[in-house]
Amino acid sequence: MTGARVTVGRVGRVTVGRVGRVMAGRWCWAARAIGLAAAASLLCACGVKQEAVKAPAVRLFSVTLGGAPNAFDGALYSAIAHGQLHAAGLSVTVLQAPASAQALQELAAGTTDMAVADQSQLLLARDQGLRLVAIAALGEQPLGAQLEHAGSAAETSEAALAKRAGSGGIPATEDVVLVVRVRQAEDEGENLRAFMQALTDAFAEVRTDPAQAAALVVAATHTRHPRAQGQAITRALSALPAPTSGAPYGYQTATSWEAFARWMYVAGLLHTDPTSLSQPYTDEYLAGQGV
């Protein structure tokens, strides 16, 4: 596995919640720092021993992509380059696995903090007993060869799957999702909310200037054809839909997950009825949710 490392840091504490509260948190810290400096000067003048004030620790955080960087990663690279993750107190390293299945295996093994993966691959991983959960949807992609590892090419061809899935046929698309370990979701909610707030702010920038975000993604791919790839990614970013009115960036729906999981189970791709397992997704850590 190779990694394109981008490291950012932070000075200060961030208050996470609705859109816009990140900046409020930074201003609060700045005011506190000024107050501490004034108090230190006063103590020094009185002959009291001055203690060093340490900046809060920065949380190192790694994200493993399930394949080469693409348009779905635009908000991530933008949040790194433009400082939203810096403000959230996260020092982020972006790594790359050959495909979604490997990225999820690394996540389950604890070698990375988050994975970008296909919806179908997450359901397959959970069917194998891996305790993983999606915390955000980054967009939709065509449903294609991602399922072939579940069996032979003949078994997973569109015609065969349509026959096994019944009259409903095959879903046209699946989501690309951000995935974490279940225990991590239980124990590190503050970091996950900070991460998603940063991506939410960055996604607004991506929609305003998709070409700039595309350039960041292309730089991470080390392609020999940057212009052509940049144009393709710009078009893909421009086509990403805005969040549904009233819903935060990354919102996932129970109806979509249930329908997709049910199809995979009926098609024979999942051995365990997904409805007997814990919910495969949560919206709790999206901007303005669960607080």
Q: What is the CATH number of the domain that holds 236?
A: 3.40.190.10
pLDDT band at 187 (very low <50, low <70, confident <90, very high): very high
- The separation between the first and the last C-alpha atoms of the chain, rounded to the nearest angstrom, is 36
Q: Residue 210: pLDDT above 80?
A: yes
Tokens found for residue 163: 């026959």
Report if residue 15 sits inside a domain.
Answer: no
- Predicted local confidence at residue 12, as pLDDT: 34
pLDDT band at 102 (very low <50, low <70, confident <90, very high): very high
Q: Residue 177: pLDDT above 90?
A: yes
Q: Which has the minimum average pLDDT: 84-98, 118-132, 224-238?
A: 224-238
- Predicted local confidence at residue 169, as pLDDT: 65
- Predicted local confidence at residue 241, as pLDDT: 81
- In tens, the pLDDT along 19-61 reads 333 323 332 333 333 343 444 444 444 454 444 544 456 789 9
pLDDT band at 119 (very low <50, low <70, confident <90, very high): very high
Report if residue 46 sits inside a domain.
Answer: no
Q: Which has the minimum average pLDDT: 3-7, 213-217, 246-250?
A: 3-7
Q: Residue 85: pLDDT above 90?
A: yes
CB 62 within 8 A of CB 109: no
Helix axes 210-221, 74-81, angle to 10 degrees: 90
Report if residue 270 sits inside a domain.
Answer: yes
Which domain covers residue 132, as residue numbers? 2-7+56-276
Q: Residue 201: pLDDT above 60?
A: yes
Report if residue 164 sits inside a domain.
Answer: yes
Report if residue 24 sits inside a domain.
Answer: no
CB 29 within 8 A of CB 12: yes
What is the mean predicted confidence (pLDDT) over 160-178?
Answer: 70
3-state helix, strand, coil in the chain (%, to 5): 50, 15, 35
- Cα separation of 86 and 9, whole Å? 5
Report if residue 156 sits inside a domain.
Answer: yes
Report if residue 227 sits inside a domain.
Answer: yes
Number of domains in the chain: 1
**What counts of helices (H) and strands (E) characterise the chain?**
11, 6
Instruction: Report percent pLDDT > 70 for the chain.
Output: 71
What is the mean predicted confidence (pLDDT) over 248-261?
Answer: 92
Report if residue 261 sits inside a domain.
Answer: yes
- Predicted local confidence at residue 275, as pLDDT: 87
CB 176 within 8 A of CB 140: yes
